[in-house]
């Protein structure tokens, strides 16, 4: 009887064990097979976080391959709030390293989230300090930050990229689709104890970097232009200044300087006004520099010749019940002298002889009132009114550079057209686009927009503009050993309070090209509101001279005139 009972117990126990194994086996099949996909997704959600990071942004180099914008790997710190035991303690430890208030860090770390950025793209030393702390629930990943190794040099052209690597101004913005790298997905994972978070890997291997850009800009020429412009603006105690250097034969921009400068590495504290590229956004009345284009139109239309005599009315002339003044009391002078001495009366008479419709047609032909279509963002159109909106004095006023708004880029492009024999070229700053492996994807050739004047007219105007420097108002623009041509400009600004011309606020400018027999450089200098001498010949012309002399030497352009050396005899 006892043996039968013992066997019964063993059978019951065996049956229970079999049932237990069956339940376990069923559960394993359910977990490993039937619910495997669903549970895997849940596990990933609990233990993994996918973060989107940008691939390397393409570099920007000057025409000789010198790096102007590049990427550097810097640390970014994140937290996993739902794994922290003491958010306030962690915040206190992080605050002095991240330079973020403890309260702000604590607020982020108390969120019911599995991932939160605490600081992006920090200095490397901050990353090293975090590594030494080795805080649970806090991790560091490396991200690319845009870096401009030359600091303020060319900042207004390059622009800058934001925290997320997106181009916000200048070349960085205009060529964003080329420069940006592939987006990459970084999977972050914490261990079973929830002690840390670390990069697990990338979903598709290393991403492709963005394309690199080669500029037409020459770093050395840019440096010379910025240095001389900054010096001139400072000495004149001016509000701002602009200088552009073009290759007149191609339209390639060799330098584009704006003062005051800014550092694209540290833009967060600056206002948009500081990084605005005034060379292509700001319109101003050009004053007497417009007389060069008026002269080209009048000679092309055979209204005058360089030796045509014009009466200067002894310094004052009435037009539409207003008086036009000259700074010299001129009598009979040749048309060439009208330009060289910058006679407002002679320019007004010539413009009126040219007539409204022809004057307007040449303004359009030279590119005023329209964008040059340079490959930079934010370009303005200037201001050229339709002739139906002109007043009785408008033809005279426009002929001497009033009642019209131009940008520095429009003006230097127009002067370059005279320099190269009458062809208006499209200005540009990008010459090549290359892929991440260095293969050329695109080369940007020079583009001719249209012929404005004949070569014969261009030669005649050039000879007149040479006289501006040798015998006229632009004597301080002279460059030793070279024949140069150009035109001074001094324009009164409109006083916004009165709506009339100010007696104290001026724009001083000079624009020209050198050497005249084979132009290599077309340049414009614009000084806004100089506080000392306001004349273009005194403030802007010397900048043309200093930059031209240095750049021609740098380029190895041989002089076309003998340089006179002062000889002294030894003392007896």
Cite the active site residues: 288
CA distances from 4 to 162, 222, 254 (A): 86, 107, 108
CA dihedral angle for residue 285, residue 451, residue 292, residue 542, rounded to 10 degrees: 80
Tokens of 59: 């570099």
Dig out the tokens for 531 from the structure: 């506080």
Question: 470-492: buried (b, 16+ CB within 10 Å) or exposed (e) per residue?
Answer: eebbbebbbbebbbbbbbbbbbb
In 99-145, where does DSSP find H-type helix? 102-109, 124-133
99: left (phi over 0), alpha (psi -120 to 50) or beta: left
Strand (E) or helix (H) holding 214: strand 212-215
Report how far residue 511's alpha carbon sits from residue 335's, in angstroms, rounded to the nearest whole number.
20
Q: Which of 112, 108, 106, 107 is nearest to 90 (CA)?
A: 106
| Residue recorded with tokens 């206190």 | 92
Which residues does 169 contact at the CB level (< 8 Å), separation at least 6? 159, 160, 275, 377
> Which residues have a Cβ under 8 Å from the Cβ of 248 and sit 6 or more positions away?
415, 416, 417, 419, 420, 425, 513, 519, 520, 521, 522
């Amino acid at each position: 009887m006892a043996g039968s009972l013992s066997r019964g117990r063993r059978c019951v126990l065996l049956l229970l064990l079999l049932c237990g194994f069956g339940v376990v086996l069923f559960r394993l099949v359910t977990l490993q097979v039937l619910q495997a996909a669903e549970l895997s997704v849940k596990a990933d959600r609990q233990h993994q976080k996918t973060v989107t990071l940008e691939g390397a942004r393409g570099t920007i180099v000057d025409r000789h391959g010198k790096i102007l914008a590049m990427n550097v790997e810097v640390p970014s710190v994140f937290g996993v709030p739902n794994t922290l035991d003491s958010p306030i303690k962690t915040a206190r430890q992080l605050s002095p390293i991240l330079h973020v208030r403890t309260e702000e860090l604590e607020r982020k770390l108390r969120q019911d989230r599995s991932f939160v950025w605490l600081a992006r793209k920090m200095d490397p030393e901050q990353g090293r300090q975090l590594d030494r702390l080795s805080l649970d629930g806090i991790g560091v990943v490396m991200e690319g930050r845009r870096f401009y190794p030359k600091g303020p040099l060319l900042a207004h052209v390059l622009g800058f990229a934001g925290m997320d690597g997106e181009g916000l101004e200048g070349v960085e913005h205009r060529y964003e689709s080329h420069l940006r790298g592939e987006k990459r997905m970084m999977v972050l994972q914490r261990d079973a104890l929830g002690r840390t978070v670390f990069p697990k890997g990338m979903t598709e291997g290393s991403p492709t970097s963005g394309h690199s850009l080669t500029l037409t800009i020459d770093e050395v020429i840019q440096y010379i232009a910025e240095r001389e412009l900054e010096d001139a603006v400072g000495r004149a105690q001016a509000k701002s200044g602009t200088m552009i250097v073009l290759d007149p034969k191609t339209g390639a921009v060799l330098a584009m300087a704006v003062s005051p400068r800014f550092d694209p590495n540290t833009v967060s504290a600056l206002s948009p006004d500081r990084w605005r590229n005034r060379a292509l956004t700001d319109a101003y009345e050009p004053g007497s520099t417009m007389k060069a284009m008026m002269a080209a139109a009048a000679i092309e239309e055979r209204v005058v010749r360089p030796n045509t005599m014009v009466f200067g009315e002894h310094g004052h002339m009435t037009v539409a019940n207003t008086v036009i003044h000259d700074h010299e009391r001129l009598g009979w002078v040749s048309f060439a002298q009208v330009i060289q001495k910058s006679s407002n009366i002679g320019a007004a008479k010539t413009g009126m002889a040219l007539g409204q419709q022809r004057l307007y047609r040449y303004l359009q032909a030279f590119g005023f009132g329209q964008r040059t279509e340079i490959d930079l963002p934010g370009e303005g159109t200037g201001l050229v009114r339709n002739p139906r909106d002109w007043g009785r004095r408008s033809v005279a006023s426009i002929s001497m550079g009033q009642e019209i708004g131009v940008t520095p880029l429009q003006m230097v492009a127009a002067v370059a057209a005279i320099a190269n024999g009458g062809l208006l070229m499209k200005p540009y700053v990008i010459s090549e686009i290359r892929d991440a492996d260095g293969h050329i994807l695109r080369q940007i050739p020079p583009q001719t927009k249209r012929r404005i004047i004949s070569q014969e007219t261009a030669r005649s105007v050039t000879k007149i503009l040479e006289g501006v420097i040798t015998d006229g108002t632009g004597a301080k623009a002279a460059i030793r050993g070279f024949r140069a041509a150009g035109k001074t400009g001094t324009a009164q600004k409109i006083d916004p309070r009165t709506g009339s011309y100010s007696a104290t606020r001026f724009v001083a400018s000079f624009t020209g090209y050198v050497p005249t027999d084979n132009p290599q450089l077309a340049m414009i200098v614009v000084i806004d509101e100089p506080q000392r001498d306001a004349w273009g010949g005194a403030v802007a012309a010397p900048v043309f001279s200093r930059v031209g002399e240095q750049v021609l030497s740098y380029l190895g352009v041989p002089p076309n005139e003998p340089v006179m050396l002062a000889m002294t005899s030894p003392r007896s």
